[in-house]
Structure 1
């Protein structure tokens, strides 16, 4: 499957109901479109019914048709961060941007489907411009290597989106997105009664890592 959340879990259930189909399928691919109106619980239900199949987000972008082309958009960056944290907290094993680099108009595209990109390339000046979305992706790709395992956590502030994982080297990674317009003090409780105290600035994201 390579579709939206709206197809979960019924499409997967239907496909796997046919004899011998399940043994030829390793995972379920999803696009992020319409995630805002379809609950992430659909991922939980799908995982619970088919725990031997991975879930992977394979396409995400901000389309010109709905959002326009905007250079330097922090709003787009926040939407990326929020979606990545949510998806990884609900059994997605990864998350991919659709086009990591495009021209200044969001192309080229033969179907006139221009989209925003983490990197815009200005070919006439031989320059490229990293967008806020690019740096948001780094909070995940740089600190969460293959083989990391997500674990459950408890967050008491609804303005924060939090993701916690254990790396293969034993390190703990905590990604915190502050969606509010106010700075939020945060205490991360770790083992042996120890804690880490920090402040997350308004409309910002941080990644904490410790061993």
Structure 2
């Protein structure tokens, strides 16, 4: 196979690659020795000694990977006078739920915000954070099946919820954490049968909430700059499956008064068993990019169910979870490369860390992660997903942009290329075939010959003259 690199053919700018900070991730780090904890964060965020994760996400209020349900205000406080993010600062008691009870914590004062701040202090770390709410407080909602689960925000509380979210942005800023972006709602269409914190927003409700409440509130509080959406907090709408994203975002983008607040679209990959069959929804991505060329595109969540008896091997063999049967490593590789080749500007996995038993998570969820920790034995496992994501995060740095890469199509070979701010170029090639593939890389008048091993991902770094 011959690939021709075209460094002067520039496409979208990249904002980064990484995974998400959760309360569960912080709890697992609190259970291991401090030096080991720092080593894990170095492996995640150092661009020289680790993966150099550069785009991340976190949850506003509790999520499916929290120790229990929580919000930042007392029940019924419509004035938000009790608003406090102390829940993300206060540490752990060890009595939050049955999964954490009996596990000795090395540093009980550790928590979500300390985790983020420690990661920010890793030498060379350079990452941005997108924040997303899973659910408003229950007293603001109607139709719930249990605490903060299913149902939807009552319209009479739209204004208060907008103020609440803006206060969160301000409170994190006071902690020295400047959030890069936010989504108004995680998975707004998953609110009928969720087992964890969730909240429903139809496309029209999402549009109205952004246009009439959240957008104006963020502008009023100085978080969002309407003259330059790149200059302040970025609002990414939707934050759900890419298979149906075009139908959802149209309501907002077709309304100029709503669209002016929206920097772009965030999407998830679920249900991933459909991705191969539907060519990883490349047509949906192309449709989105063509219809709204001035809006950003970020993949904000993906995950697979863990096989805790074979957490490494499962990535290389047929695995079955809620979405069907597929080979996880192949699915991730093709999904990321397809996203990038169709205008996506960043890719974020769900939890950055969970335990080897996919915990703590009291909501019957079973995700794997780039890093698995046994909080009892202090064993740390870097899964194949960690190394897969590293091929992108380590070699395609923030403010890089995708460049042209032409070549003949060979079944089982996927590739993409980017040019970094320092002039270096990264070409990521994945060979999912059972035999090696010979590749000739042509750059200007130079030809570089190499071989990609069977079932392997390889990154080639080059510089033009």
TM-score class normalised by the smaller sequence: over 0.9
Tell me the matched-pair count. 207
1:103 aligns with 2:343: no
Q: How does 1:101-140 map to 2 (within 5 A)?
A: 101-140=353-392
Q: Is the contact made by 2:434 and 2:454 (CA closer than 8 Å) also made in structure 1? A: yes
Equivalent of residue 399 in structure 2, options 147, 154, 172: 147
For structure 2, the residue ranges without an aligned partner over 5 or more in a row are 1-237, 317-327
1:174-197 superposed Cα distances (whole Å, 9 cap, x missing partner): 000001000000011111x21110
Alignment partner of 1:169: what SS?
coil
1:170 aligns with 2:423: yes
For structure 1, the residue ranges without an aligned partner over 5 or more in a row are none
Equivalent of residue 58 in structure 1, options 283, 300, 307: 300
Q: Is the contact made by 1:2 and 1:29 (CA closer than 8 Å) also made in structure 2? A: yes
Distance 1:84 1:19 in 2: 31
Distance 2:446 2:256 in 1: 52
Alignment partner of 2:345: what SS?
strand
1:128-165 superposed Cα distances (whole Å, 9 cap, x missing partner): 11111111111111000001110232232222110111
Distance 1:110 1:23 in 2: 39
Distance 1:164 1:61 in 2: 24
Q: Is the contact made by 2:245 and 2:267 (CA closer than 8 Å) also made in structure 1? A: no
Alignment partner of 1:87: what SS?
helix
Q: Which has the higher strand share?
A: 1
Distance 1:16 1:143 in 2: 33
Shift of 1:115: 0.7
Partner in structure 1 of residue 330 of structure 2: 78
Distance 2:372 2:329 in 1: 14
Question: Structure 1 runs of 4+ off > 4 angstroms?
Answer: none
Alignment partner of 1:92: what SS?
coil
- 125-134 or 14-23: bigger deviation: 14-23
1:189 aligns with 2:431: no
Q: Is the contact made by 1:5 and 1:34 (CA closer than 8 Å) also made in structure 2? A: no
Q: Is the contact made by 1:63 and 1:114 (CA closer than 8 Å) also made in structure 2? A: yes
Shift of 1:45: 1.0
Equivalent of residue 432 in structure 2, options 179, 184, 190: 179
Shift of 1:169: 0.8
Q: Is the contact made by 1:47 and 1:91 (CA closer than 8 Å) also made in structure 2? A: yes
Q: Is the contact made by 1:31 and 1:60 (CA closer than 8 Å) also made in structure 2? A: yes
Distance 2:256 2:392 in 1: 38
- 195-204 or 103-112: bigger deviation: 103-112
Partner in structure 1 of residue 283 of structure 2: 41
Equivalent of residue 265 in structure 2, options 21, 28, 42: 28
Q: Which has the higher contact order (CA 8 A, sep 6+)?
A: 2
